[in-house]
Amino acid sequence: MWDFISALAIIIFIDLILAGDNAIVIAMAARKLPKEKQRVVILWGTFGAIAIRAAATLLMVSLLNLPWLMLAGGLLLVWIAYKLLVGDDEHEVKAQDSIFGAIRTIIIADAAMGIDNVIAVAGAAEGEHQYLLVIIGLLISIPIIIWGSTLFVKLINKYSWILYIGGGVLAYTAAKMITGERKLAGVFDNAWIKYGFDALVILGVLGIGYLVKSRRAARAAAAAESTAAE
């Protein structure tokens, strides 16, 4: 029971930490519409995006049982965790003038950008209740995405340490996927090696992400000072 609850908590947190994509897509696609129409677009666009994401995640859960895909998914999730921390994703979503056009744009754009969420949630769902975990997590995330994603983005911008918690959770999920690869079962039979690898991945992602982000901030500050001096 505890394994189920902890896995569900991780899935919900992943949905939260990666909800920024949804907020950006929704805001950009619907920004030209009147407010009363924006509500319709947000509702149906989110449900359409969630339906596609649910199908993709359930498919990914099945595919992860194939040889080497847990390893591939884990390595990709390490990269996703790093990208979350350094934060240089760019979203180009065209604003629409009609309800149908905005809903279609949200669904298509979210499907294209949602690979990080799909892989992360599929990797976090494990055990005999994999599919149930995915479905419950996505159902809980629907109201979060509709009403809370924009607020959560603001919280992340205000409290940057939330991103590091999210990066750590994603890195931990990635490490679990890699050590859970059946083809590598003999490598991680020793508990010390397994937990040591988990710690190495988490500390590596957080450490490198912090260094890169700090250096970018220092360069930006130096450039601003140089411009001001001129």
140 phi, psi to nearest 5 deg: -70, -30
What pLDDT is recorded for position 151?
62
Q: Could you read off the pLDDT of 139-151 as tens digits, one per residue? A: 776 666 666 555 6
Residue 20 half-sphere exposure, CB side, CA atoms within 13 Å? 18
Give every residue of the chain whose pLDDT is below 50, as ranges: none
Q: Give the span between the Cα atoms of 195 and 179, in whole angstroms.
A: 9
Q: Give the span between the Cα atoms of 5 and 91, in whole angstroms.
A: 33
SS (H, E, C) 160-208: CHHHHHHHHHHHHHHHHHHHCCHHHCCCCCCHHHHHHHHHHHHHHHHHH
What pLDDT is recorded for position 154?
65
Q: Could you read off the pLDDT of 109-131 as tens digits, one per residue? A: 666 666 667 777 777 876 666 77
